[in-house]
């Protein structure tokens, strides 16, 4: 294996954990030279969710052109690459395997190191891309379609999970709420937009606390409360139970009031646990990542909180909120500097890493 003397490292990142096929080239862990994302939303829209078999097939078709495009846009040659990084966990196993296989083939043929990266840890570092470095210790918050988690980071490679959702992820709850309100897929961004027009106090939807000290999250109760508020309580029993109404009977104003009330409750639940964590852990920085960091209200509330406490908050630029490969390559630079490479036995896993 060649360990190129190039410093800072130029890393090609590959991401295929769910329904985006992505490749990016990042220099020195934060300078993004290219960031290519091929989304599959059109393929999954009619099923209102990601179909794993369709996703892995689409990754196979797209991975090579996406990598080629990332290299072209970065204007670097394969010989300039220091390492290849790949998101190898957590995610859909068939989708992850496509990225891992492509990364192995490329790194092996170039004779350079391969670095496997936990997708969730990478989300936490998306706010450092194209930005200045941060100070540690940091509190980390991942809010995405599949995960809602809090971490304490004593350093970039010392990542410890301190809380997570016990049922739905916040993005999943947004997507389901959008389905209840008949807003289409993917629902999160559409619900966020509609919420900005509504009255957040119109409906008293629940903010889950899970007791007085827990740092875990729960969103299924909020989702069910919205369902019954919009569609009414089920009539009948067992498999014959039916909901008396649906969102097609709502006016635009009524819909936006439901959206705003849902958004208030969902974002309040996140802020509640971030505040709780800050009581226990003294940190200098709040690192955030995942698709829901694109949410207008969450961005504002986290910015206000950090300002009030004199803390540095990193909300990723919009291009790096959703799944992307720049964050994979960015985080891999920390592992590269520490000499934490993988070998050809690197495996894909549906589960998140424990620790690092």
Whole-number minimum distance, CB 64 to ligand KG4, in Å? Answer: 22
Number of residues near ligand KG4 (by CB under 6 A): 20
Which of 93-101, 125-133, 239-247, 291-299 is the region at the interface with ligand KG4 (rule: CB under 6 A)?
291-299
Q: Is 183 exposed, middle or buried (0-12, 13-18, 19+ CB in 10 A)?
A: buried
Please say whether the beta carbons of 315 and 293 come within 8 A. yes
323 binds ligand KG4 (CB under 6 A): yes
Binder among 186, 198, 316, 330 for ligand KG4 (CB under 6 A): 186
Whole-number minimum distance, CB 345 to ligand KG4, in Å? Answer: 25
Which of 96-104, 187-195, 215-223, 302-310 is the region at the interface with ligand KG4 (rule: CB under 6 A)?
187-195
Binder among 24, 294, 327, 333 for ligand KG4 (CB under 6 A): 294
* Residue 192's binding partner out of Zn ion, ligand KG4, none, with CB under 5 to 8 Å set by partner kind: ligand KG4
Nearer to ligand KG4, 13 or 187 (CB): 187
The binding site for Zn ion (CB under 5 A) comprises 144, 323
Whole-number minimum distance, CB 300 to ligand KG4, in Å? Answer: 12
168 binds ligand KG4 (CB under 6 A): no
Task: Write out the residues near ligand KG4 by the rule CB under 6 A.
Answer: 18, 144-146, 171-172, 174-175, 186-189, 192, 290-292, 294-295, 322-323
């Amino acid at each position: 294996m060649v360990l190129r003397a190039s410093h800072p490292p130029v890393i090609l990142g590959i991401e295929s954990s769910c329904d985006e096929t992505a490749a990016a080239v990042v220099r020195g862990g934060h300078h993004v030279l290219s960031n290519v994302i091929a989304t599959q939303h059109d393929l999954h829209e009619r099923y209102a969710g990601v179909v794993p078999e369709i996703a892995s097939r689409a990754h196979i078709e797209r991975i090579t052109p996406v990598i080629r495009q990332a290299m072209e846009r970065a204007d670097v040659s394969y010989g300039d690459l220091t390492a290849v990084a790949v998101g190898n966990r957590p995610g859909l196993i068939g989708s992850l395997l496509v990225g891992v296989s492509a990364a192995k083939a490329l790194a092996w043929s170039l004779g350079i190191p391969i670095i496997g990266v936990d997708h969730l840890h990478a989300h936490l570092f998306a706010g450092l891309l194209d930005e200045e470095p941060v100070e540690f210790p940091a509190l980390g918050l991942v809010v995405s379609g599949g995960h809602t988690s809090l971490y304490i980071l004593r350093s970039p490679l010392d990542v410890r999970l301190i809380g997570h959702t016990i049922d739905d992820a916040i993005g999943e709850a947004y997507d389901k709420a959008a389905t209840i309100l008949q807003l289409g897929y993917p629902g999160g961004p559409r619900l966020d937009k509609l919420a900005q027009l509504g009255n957040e106090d119109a409906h008293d939807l629940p903010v889950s606390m899970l007791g007085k000290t827990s740092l875990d999250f729960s969103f299924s109760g909020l989702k069910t409360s919205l369902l019954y508020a919009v569609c009414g309580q089920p009539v009948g029993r067992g498999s014959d139970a039916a909901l008396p109404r649906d969102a097609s009977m709502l006016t635009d104003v009524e819909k936006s009031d439901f959206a705003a009330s849902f958004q208030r409750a969902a974002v309040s639940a996140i802020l509640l646990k971030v505040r709780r964590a800050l009581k226990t852990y003294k940190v200098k920085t709040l690192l955030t990542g995942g698709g829901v960091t694109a949410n207008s209200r969450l961005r504002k509330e986290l910015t206000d909180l950090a300002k009030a406490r004199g803390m540095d908050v990193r909300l990723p630029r919009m291009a790096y909120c959703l799944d992307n490969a720049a964050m994979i390559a960015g985080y891999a630079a920390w592992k590269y500097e520490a000499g934490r490479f993988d070998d050809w036995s690197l495996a894909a896993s549906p589960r998140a890493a424990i620790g690092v």
